[in-house]
Amino acid sequence: MSETSTWIYLIKLAVFGTAFLFLFSVLQYFLCKIKRWWPGLILPLLTFLHSLPLISWL
């Protein structure tokens, strides 16, 4: 019985590991895309963050 649960655990680990690596690579791809327009995004983002009252209180 313990051998079966070990296999199930290993299969789950492999599936989650593969999914995590896939998501990580997709995220990295989008970050590389965003880096190209990053300078144009920083200013609006900062003004938006400053307009939020909660962050200006911190």
In angstroms, the Cα distances linking 50 to 34, 36, 39, 56 are: 21, 24, 17, 6
18 vs 32, residue with greater confidence: 18
The structural domains of the chain, with segments of one domain joined by +, span: 2-57
Work out the pLDDT band at 53, boundaries 50, 70, 90.
low
Work out the pLDDT band at 2, boundaries 50, 70, 90.
confident
Reported for 32-38, long-range contacts at CB under 8 A and 24+ positions apart, including other chains, are none
CA atoms in the 13 A half-sphere facing the CB of 46: 6
**E strand map for the chain:** none
Work out the pLDDT band at 19, boundaries 50, 70, 90.
very high
